[in-house]
C-alpha cells in the first residue's frame, strides 16, 4: 500500500499579505482557502503567531482561529503555533477554552517556544530571553488549566477548565521532540522552514516516546512547502514566489508576498541561492506525478502520520488548484 494512501493532509497558513493587497485581503484569502481545503477533506487548518512583520497578518492568532472556525463547518482549526513564552498560560487557556466552548471538538493548540519575532518586539511583548527556559513548566501549567478543575484549585480558566483542548508541541530542533516524547504529546516538526534536523528529531521523538493519558503511540506531523501545477514548468514558475519570500527574509526586506517571476538567477547571489534552497529543502514542487514521488520519499524517510502543507502561491486561483491537485494525489493512491 502506498504511504500516500494512509497519510492525512492539513494546512498551515501564515496569512500572507500579498503585494498590492491589504491585511483585510489576506484574512479573506485565509477564510477562502480554509473553506476550500475543508471541502477537499483536509484534517486541520493551523495559523501561526508572528509579530511586527509587514507581510503577515496572523499576529492575533486566537482571534483568527475563531474567525476561520466560524466560517467553516468540520475542519479542525488551531495554532501552529502559539509561542507560549510570549503569553501567560492562564490567558492562553482562557482564549483556547473559549474557542473550544464555541467550537467543540474542533480546536487544536499547537505550542512553540521561539519568539516569532525580533528582539525589539520581544521587549514590546514583555518577553525576556530566559522565558523560553520555562517552556516545559508552562506547558504543564497549561495542561492543568485545561483539565477538569480539582477540589480546592485556586487558579481556574473560565472558560477553559475541562475543555482539554488537544496540545501539540512544535519545533525545529531536538528540544521539543524530546519534550513531546517525555510528555506523551503529538509532535509537529517545522520542516517547512528548518528541514535540516527533520529525520533526527522525528527519530528521537519516536524512540523516546512515553505513552500518556492523551496519546498511546507517537504521532508526527511534518511541515511541507508544496506547489503542484499541471506542468513542471508552471510549478517552477509558481515556486518563485516562495523563493522570493525566503530571499527577502534572509536580506531583512519586506515580507509582502510577491508575484512569480521568470528569472530568479538575476535576483540572488550564489550564497543567497544556497540559503534559499536550504530553507526550502523539504519543499515538493512539480507536476502531480513528480510531487507524488517526492512525497513518497519524504514519508519513507520520516514515517509521518500527517503532512502540514504550506502553500505560498501568489494567485489564489493557482493556490486553490495546487491544493486540489495535492488532495487528488492522496485520494488516488
Task: Tell me the per-residue pLDDT of 72-98, one tens digit each, with 9 for 90 and over.
Answer: 999 999 999 999 988 999 999 999 999
Average of per-residue pLDDT across 99-118: 89
Q: What is the mean pLDDT of the chain?
A: 94
Grade residue 53 by pLDDT with cuts at 50, 70 and 90. confident
Whether residue 182 is predicted with pLDDT greater than 50 in this model: the reply is: yes
Grade residue 127 by pLDDT with cuts at 50, 70 and 90. low
Whether residue 6 is predicted with pLDDT greater than 80 in this model: the reply is: yes
Domain carrying residue 290: 3-332
The whole-angstrom separation of Cα 120 and Cα 129 is: 12
Whether residue 309 is predicted with pLDDT greater than 90 in this model: the reply is: yes
**189 burial class (0-12, 13-18, 19+ CB within 10 angstroms)?**
buried
C-alpha cell at 41: 477533506
Q: What is the pLDDT of residue 333?
A: 45
Q: What is the pLDDT of residue 226?
A: 98
Grade residue 290 by pLDDT with cuts at 50, 70 and 90. very high
Q: What is the pLDDT of residue 3?
A: 81
For residue 315, what are the contacts with CB-CB under 8 A and spacing of at least 6?
Answer: 259
Q: What is the pLDDT of residue 232?
A: 98
Q: What is the pLDDT of residue 245?
A: 96
As for how many domains the chain has, the answer is 1
Average of per-residue pLDDT across 88-116: 94
For residue 3, what are the contacts with CB-CB under 8 A and spacing of at least 6?
Answer: 295, 296, 299, 300
CA neighbor of 267 nearest in space, from 256, 279, 253, 284: 253
Q: What is the pLDDT of residue 185?
A: 98
Average of per-residue pLDDT across 12-24: 97
Q: What is the pLDDT of residue 96?
A: 98
Grade residue 133 by pLDDT with cuts at 50, 70 and 90. confident
Residue 102: give its domain's CATH number: 3.20.20.30
Whether residue 116 is predicted with pLDDT greater than 60 in this model: the reply is: no
Pick from 45-49, 76-80, 250-254: least confident: 250-254
Whether residue 52 is predicted with pLDDT greater than 60 in this model: the reply is: yes
C-alpha cell at 11: 494546512
Whether residue 255 is predicted with pLDDT greater than 90 in this model: the reply is: no
Whether residue 274 is predicted with pLDDT greater than 90 in this model: the reply is: yes
Q: Tell me the angle at which helices 288-302 and 232-251 cross, rounded to the nearest 10 degrees.
A: 60
In terms of residues, how long is the chain?
333
Task: List pLDDT tens digits, range 207-238.
Answer: 999 999 999 999 999 999 999 999 999 999 99
Whether residue 129 is predicted with pLDDT greater than 90 in this model: the reply is: no
Task: Determine how many CB atoms are found less than 10 A away from the CB of residue 20.
Answer: 9
Task: Determine how many CB atoms are found less than 10 A away from the CB of residue 82.
Answer: 25
> Which of the pair, 255 or 42, is modelled with greater confidence?
42
Q: What is the pLDDT of residue 118?
A: 63
The whole-angstrom separation of Cα 314 and Cα 317 is: 9
Amino acid at each position: 500500500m502506498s504511504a500516500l494512501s494512509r497519510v492525512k493532509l492539513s494546512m498551515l497558513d501564515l496569512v500572507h499579505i500579498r503585494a498590492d493587497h491589504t491585511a483585510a485581503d489576506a484574512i479573506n484569502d485565509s477564510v477562502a482557502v480554509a473553506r476550500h481545503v475543508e471541502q477537499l477533506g483536509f484534517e486541520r487548518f493551523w495559523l501561526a503567531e508572528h509579530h511586527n512583520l509587514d507581510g503577515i497578518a496572523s499576529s492575533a492568532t486566537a482571534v483568527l482561529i475563531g474567525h476561520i472556525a466560524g466560517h467553516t463547518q468540520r475542519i479542525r482549526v488551531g495554532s501552529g503555533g502559539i509561542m507560549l513564552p510570549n503569553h501567560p498560560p492562564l490567558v492562553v487557556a482562557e482564549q483556547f477554552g473559549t474557542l473550544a466552548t464555541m467550537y467543540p471538538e474542533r480546536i487544536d493548540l499547537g505550542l512553540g517556544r521561539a519568539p516569532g519575532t525580533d528582539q525589539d518586539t520581544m521587549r514590546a511583548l514583555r518577553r525576556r530571553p530566559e522565558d523560553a527556559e520555562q517552556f516545559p513548566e508552562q506547558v504543564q501549567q497549561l495542561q492543568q488549566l485545561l483539565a477538569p478543575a480539582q477540589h480546592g484549585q485556586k487558579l481556574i480558566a473560565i472558560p477553559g477548565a475541562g475543555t482539554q483542548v488537544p496540545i501539540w508541541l512544535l519545533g525545529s530542533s531536538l528540544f521539543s521532540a524530546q519534550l513531546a516524547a517525555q510528555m506523551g504529546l503529538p509532535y509537529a516538526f517545522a520542516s517547512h522552514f528548518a528541514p535540516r534536523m527533520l529525520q533526527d528529531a522525528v527519530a528521537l521523538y519516536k524512540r523516546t516516546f512515553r505513552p500518556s493519558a492523551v496519546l498511546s503511540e507517537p504521532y508526527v506531523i511534518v511541515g511541507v512547502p508544496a506547489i503542484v501545477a499541471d506542468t513542471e514548468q508552471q510549478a517552477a514558475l509558481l515556486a518563485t514566489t516562495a523563493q522570493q519570500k525566503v530571499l527577502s527574509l534572509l536580506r531583512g526586506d519586506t515580507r509582502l508576498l510577491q508575484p512569480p517571476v521568470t528569472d530568479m538567477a538575476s535576483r540572488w547571489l550564489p550564497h543567497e541561492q544556497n540559503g534559499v534552497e536550504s530553507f526550502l529543502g523539504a519543499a515538493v514542487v512539480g507536476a502531480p506525478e513528480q510531487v507524488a514521488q517526492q512525497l513518497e520519499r519524504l514519508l519513507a524517510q520520516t514515517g509521518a502520520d500527517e503532512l502540514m502543507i504550506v502553500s505560498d502561491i501568489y494567485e489564489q486561483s493557482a493556490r486553490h488548484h495546487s491544493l486540489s491537485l495535492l488532495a487528488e494525489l492522496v485520494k488516488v493512491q
